[in-house]
Amino acid sequence: MSLVAKLHRRFAHLVQELAKFGSVGAIAFVITVAIGNGLHTGLDVGPLTSNGVATIIATTFSYLANRYWTFRHRDRTGLGREYVLFFALNGVGLVITELFIGFSHYVLGLDGAVFYNIALVIGTGVATLFRFWSYKKWVFLPSSAPSVDPASGLPEAPDAPGVHRADVHPSRLGHSLDAHAAEDYAEI
């Protein structure tokens, strides 16, 4: 098997996740820009408040799209746990974006729609890198991860040493990504 074929086989699921995540992110970004600009330039709401309100609306869309489309092949560890973690991590992403907007507006004194949007794009780019990494690490867990108690959010003890959830729940292997995902995610 050639090196290119091996690389494609090993990372095809990651490329597919990135493409879906990027599509959801692009739509969420359009929502953020439209609502943020509408509030900031149209209704004269402050730049941080405008971005905060827009981000909350876009985050709701993003959670649903990522849960039921981008990461649908990953284990579901409880809607409440995922929802709280997703919004908490998006809160960190919001803070990252707000730092760029606040620095541009309040420290550099760059006022107006153009500078607001430049800071929004740069801040969103940095926050997106954090979000992708953190969703995969803490929110949408791979199928080989230990099960999580929905009430506490803590991992449950495995049934026996060396037994993975994929071994316990063979019906999960029906998805084309599951067969290779557990092994590949462990290496990444």
Report the pLDDT value the prediction gives residue 85, as an integer from 0 to 100: 85
- What's the distance, CA 51 to chain centroid? 18
What confidence score (pLDDT) does residue 154 get? 59
Q: What is the pLDDT of residue 171?
A: 41
- Give the per-residue pLDDT at 75: 63
With residue 140 as reference, give the H or E element that holds it: none
Low-confidence ranges of the chain (pLDDT < 50): 163-188
- Is 146 exposed, middle or buried (CB count within 10 Å of its CB: 0-12, 13-18, 19+)? middle
pTM reported for the whole predicted model: 0.59
Q: Tell me what pLDDT residue 167 has.
A: 46
Number of other residues whose CB lies within 10 A of the CB of residue 75:
19
pLDDT at 182: 45
Spatial neighbors of 131 by CB under 8 A, at least 6 apart, are 25, 89, 90, 93
